[in-house]
Chains A and B, each alone.
Chain A
Amino acid sequence: MTYELLYIIPAKFTDQENEGIISKISKVVEKAGAKITRNENLGKFKLAYPIQHARHGFYVLVEFGVESQAIKNIGRELRLLPDILRHQILSIKAKSSPRKEIKMVSYEAPTPGETPRPRASSRTRPKQEQRQAPKKKIDLEELDKKLDEILDKDIEI
């Protein structure tokens, strides 16, 4: 099974200490018999809410393959480490291998001036108006043709 681990390192550490923590955690994962396929520091983000008085954190994403029984142990060991704020392990489907890269963005609270999104129902309405518009045009053209025909007939008489 392939798994994906995301964890947060508080931003209070120096770059060197960060690297130390990252290697420490990859050791924890490898100790359980896992093969790491990806180990990437996604960068520094502002947390949506402070965790243990930390407002910013580095997010690190690790992808690895391991037997499912080992996940429990990895999770337990990560929970005991004081260096990371949170972690989350999820299994990822192997069949969706061409996974799209997503850009993570830290949460910004909406400003009071920001207008609320329109309701889904009102968003669909303009489409219907567009559909009706061309009909009217055709009607006008047909009317013109009919008028011309009538006028032509009148002249003949």
Chain B
Amino acid sequence: MNSEKKEIRPCYFCVNNADDIDYKDTQLLRRFISSYAKIVPRKRSGVCAKHQRRLAQAIKRARIMALLPFVPK
């Protein structure tokens, strides 16, 4: 528990200088959903708050366009 808090995890999107997250980029978004098709929490993925909000929005848009599933099969 404690060791998890101490680790400094750089945000993937901050590192790559990506301000906007495109919902069509399914290969990228797939890395941030669990095997149960849920959005991975920040605690686990290390994404910063700003990009987590945008990421969540992009994943939800991708779900509407059937690019990502709402529920696992």
Starting from the known contacts A49-B70, A86-B66, 13 additional A-B residue pairs (CB-CB under 8 Å) come to: A47-B66, A48-B67, A48-B68, A49-B66, A59-B65, A104-B25, A106-B67, A107-B26, A107-B68, A109-B69, A109-B72, A117-B31, A124-B7
**A89 CB, min distance to chain B CBs, angstroms:** 11
Inter-chain contact B9/A105, CB cutoff 8 Å: no
Also in contact, A114 and B26, with CB within 8 A (given A51-B66, A88-B64): no
Assembly CA distance A48 to B23 (angstroms): 14
**Partner among B3, B31, B35 whose Cβ is within 8 Å of the Cβ of A114:** B35
Residue numbers in A under 8 Å from B22 (CB-CB) = 102
Residue numbers in B under 8 Å from A124 (CB-CB) = 7-9
The number of chain A residues with a CB under 8 A from chain B is 33
Assembly CA distance A117 to B23 (angstroms): 22
Chain A residues close to B by CB (< 8 Å): 6, 8, 45, 47-49, 51, 57, 59, 61, 85-86, 88, 90, 93, 96, 102-107, 109-110, 114, 116-117, 119-121, 123-125
Assembly CA distance A125 to B3 (angstroms): 10
**B10 CB, min distance to chain A CBs, angstroms:** 9
Inter-chain contact B20/A96, CB cutoff 8 Å: yes
Interface size grouping (class) on chain B: 20 to 34
B38 within 8 A of A: no
Assembly CA distance A120 to B7 (angstroms): 9
Also in contact, A121 and B66, with CB within 8 A (given A93-B20, A104-B24): no
Inter-chain contact B61/A102, CB cutoff 8 Å: no
Assembly CA distance A106 to B22 (angstroms): 15
Assembly CA distance A34 to B8 (angstroms): 47
Residue numbers in A under 8 Å from B70 (CB-CB) = 49
Residue numbers in B under 8 Å from A117 (CB-CB) = 31
Residue numbers in B under 8 Å from A47 (CB-CB) = 66
